[in-house]
Amino acid sequence: MVRGLDNINLSTLLKEDARFFTFTAAEEDAIGVSELGLPKDAKVVFYYRDNKFHFADDDTKLRKGDEIVILTHSKNLPDFNERWYPPKKVDNKNPKK
């Protein structure tokens, strides 16, 4: 069991399919946590605003630049990556020299 004074590696706490997912809120993410439309097996657990730690709940209003941490089932990671880290589009008409 983990005691409050022990330093632990998060990988010892996350078992089976539990995963953390993080992203930095963009302008379109500056909404209430409940409005993010997360699946039932995903929850915003905390966030950093101005380098300060805050717990999140459904009433929390996110701001652009907040660093968001979601606890989720691993099956949601592909959708989250597509939503918050989409592949960069290549502009073949204006290649960089």
Q: Residue by residue, what is the 3-state secondary structure of 28-62? A: HHCCEHHHHCCCCCEEEEEEEECCEEEECCCCCEC
**Ranges in the chain, pLDDT < 50:** 1
Could you tell me if 80 and 19 are in contact, meaning their C-beta atoms sit under 8 angstroms apart?
no
Task: Output the pLDDT for position 8.
Answer: 64
pLDDT of residue 1: 45
Domains of the chain (ranges; CATH) run 24-84 (3.30.70.1450)
pTM (2 decimals)? 0.82
If you average pLDDT over every residue of the chain, what do you get? 89
Q: What is the pLDDT of residue 96?
A: 58
Q: Residue 38: what pLDDT? A: 98
